[in-house]
Structure 1
Amino acid sequence: MDDSKIAVIDGDRLEVNRAFLPLLESNGLATFKALMSHPGHAVAKCAVKERNTVRLDLETESGEKSPFFLKRYAPPTVRDRLKAYLRLKRSTPGAWQEWHAMWTFLQVGLPGPVPIAWGQDGGSSLVLSEGVSHVMRLSEWADRNFGKGSHRNTQVIPAKHKIVKEVANIVGRMHSAGLHHQDLYLCHFLCGSKQDGLPLTLIDLQRVERHRRLPRRWQVKDLAQLHFSSAQYITRQDMGRFWKVYDSIYHTGRRKIPLRHSILRKSERIRRHTLKHRL
């Protein structure tokens, strides 16, 4: 993270991407309290009580409204602190982890949300990112065109091949950089506005971690999550396209066959867990 690009304001409660500081100031959102108390213009996601995401439509210099996403985190629970202690890790705010991951993605050239601001006060934290111009989540795109009950739109098959290769490219580069996502499901890829669904953007980076070299178990977990969420939409040929691109970026060598077996076993465990808990 380049500290020269970040402004620390509001009594150290808020860190802001300098390029967007005038925008926050002109919209009256240059304090932690203003962002934390903003009602939002639309609820984007509220899957768990520990955090919620709202969309803010902020007025830019041109007078037009642009979308931004504000994710707010409740203070860490005792369970969170205990988990961090048992893993010999410092308990860090989820907002900071996502803020740091956004900058890391930017640094290594991976397609993620543009970081705008993050802040913390009294255990609560928040992170603000620029809205991504997209048509829909990749899971929705796949279900619409290749899911059960769909008409299996043959006209989008060339687009599907491009998307499979681009997903492999993104994941391969992410793993090559020592990064793993931990929630690498299709729903966390956003399709672009072009007719073929590109470019893709990977979101929800709050659990991203980085290693000098990615441990095998994290590689397996990411790829198993991706397999589980895409298995009903892809063919054996699609798998071949994925692995050809992925292996060219993040070489698995002799481990290729055992790795794929591990991924399939882990994917099956995810499936059983999902059915058991009706997720």
Structure 2
Amino acid sequence: MNAPAEVSAAEGVERRLEIAPAFEALLRRNGLSDPEALLNLRGAASLGKRGLASWRERLRVELQGEGGRRASFFLKRYVDPPRSAVRAARRTCAAARTLAGVEWTWMRRLAESGIGVPTAVALAEERRGERELRSAVLITEVPGESLEAWFARKAGSADEIRRRLIAPLASLIRRFHETGHVHRDLYAAHAFVEETVAGPVFRLIDLQRVFRPRWRRRRWIVKDLASLSYSCPAGLVSRVARVRWLKHYLEVSRLRAGDKRLIRSIAHKTRSIARHDARRLRR
């Protein structure tokens, strides 16, 4: 359950703040218990990347917890986003009022369904009427590293990948899709793996484009699976390992005719993504 929203209005501007109850004390301790403070929060590091729109910001922030211990969080902020971007996002997440609200909504819903995702800490929104002026979502740091980074660090460890990663990753993606959602940006960079005593634990990040398709659902699932396949290096993840992964995902020991058609669809879409990526890099 979320903390009650705080609403203020001035010159027709509405500001609203939601805080997950477990983090209320932390935000009060750091002076972040009003929407303006969160909307203006500065970070210890900017996490910009190629292609990131000028109206989007990603920051790593350090907050002081009990006993003076500091912990890392991430802030995603949107400043005067194009109305077209807001409309497109809200078409796929009607419960959200802003772009930051989209990811806030999906993080909470997926967590409630038992899917490993970052924890939503707080949401701040500033609007004038129906126009989004600014919004920001604060989330916990995800332990571990991206699967993309794991692959780079474990180059040459194909046996370890097959032995340790296939089943837990397949289980997470299957359970995610069973909730009715698709990711639409399911690359290795957006699957985080944490090494634990019990084995690898996976979580999904960057949930801004998640949605629940009402039709053509198989098409979106194929896109997710092809995106993940494309981003897994061929020299490290063999075709045999990919088929084994899909068997875990489908929970079958032997591929059926429909499963083989799914493999062909994934392979076709993977080639399409590769061509699109090549054209983008040539620009």
TM-score by length of 2: 0.84
Q: Given that residues 5 and 18 in structure 1 are in contact (C-alpha distance below 8 angstroms), is that contact kept between their aligned partners in structure 2?
A: yes
Aligned with 1:275 (options 274, 278, 281): 278
Aligned with 1:97 (options 79, 98, 102): 102
Aligned with 2:6 (options 6, 9, 13): 9
The alignment of Structure 1 onto Structure 2 pairs a total of residues equal to 266
Ranges in structure 1 where 5+ consecutive residues have no aligned partner:
147-151
Q: Given that residues 86 and 99 in structure 2 are in contact (C-alpha distance below 8 angstroms), is that contact kept between their aligned partners in structure 1?
A: no
Q: Which moved more, 1:104-113 or 1:88-97?
A: 88-97
Aligned to 1:126: 136
TM superposition shift of 1:161: 2.8
Q: Given that residues 63 and 71 in structure 2 are in contact (C-alpha distance below 8 angstroms), is that contact kept between their aligned partners in structure 1?
A: yes
Q: Given that residues 175 and 214 in structure 1 are in contact (C-alpha distance below 8 angstroms), is that contact kept between their aligned partners in structure 2?
A: no
Q: What secondary structure, in the 3-state scheme, does the structure 2 residue paired with 1:112 have?
A: coil
Equivalences for residues 102-117 of structure 1 within 5 A: 102-117=107-122
Q: 1:27 to 1:42 in 2, by over 3 A?
A: same
Equivalences for residues 186-225 of structure 1 within 5 A: 186-194=188-196, 198-211=200-213, 215-225=217-227
Ranges in structure 2 where 5+ consecutive residues have no aligned partner:
9-14
Matched, 1:63 2:68: yes
Q: Given that residues 61 and 74 in structure 2 are in contact (C-alpha distance below 8 angstroms), is that contact kept between their aligned partners in structure 1?
A: yes
Q: Given that residues 178 and 213 in structure 1 are in contact (C-alpha distance below 8 angstroms), is that contact kept between their aligned partners in structure 2?
A: no
Q: Given that residues 190 and 201 in structure 1 are in contact (C-alpha distance below 8 angstroms), is that contact kept between their aligned partners in structure 2?
A: yes
Equivalences for residues 134-149 of structure 1 within 5 A: 134=144, 136-146=145-155
User: What per-residue deviation string (whole Å, max 9, x for no partner) do you get for residues 171-210 of structure 1?
Assistant: 1001111011110000011221448972222100111112
Equivalences for residues 255-266 of structure 1 within 5 A: 255-266=258-269
Q: Which moved more, 1:43-52 or 1:199-208?
A: 43-52
What percent identity do the matched residue pairs reach? 31
TM superposition shift of 1:144: 2.6
User: What per-residue deviation string (whole Å, max 9, x for no partner) do you get for residues 211-238 of structure 1?
Assistant: 5788111101101101110142311221
How large is the RMSD of aligned CA atoms in angstroms? 2.8
One-letter amino acid of the structure 2 residue matched with residue 56 of structure 1: V
Q: What secondary structure, in the 3-state scheme, does the structure 2 residue paired with 1:97 have?
A: helix
User: What per-residue deviation string (whole Å, max 9, x for no partner) do you get for residues 20-73 of structure 1?
Assistant: 011101100112221221220112344412312111111112320011111001
User: What per-residue deviation string (whole Å, max 9, x for no partner) do you get for residues 91-139 of structure 1?
Assistant: 95221110011011111101100110112103111111111222x2210
TM-score by length of 1: 0.85
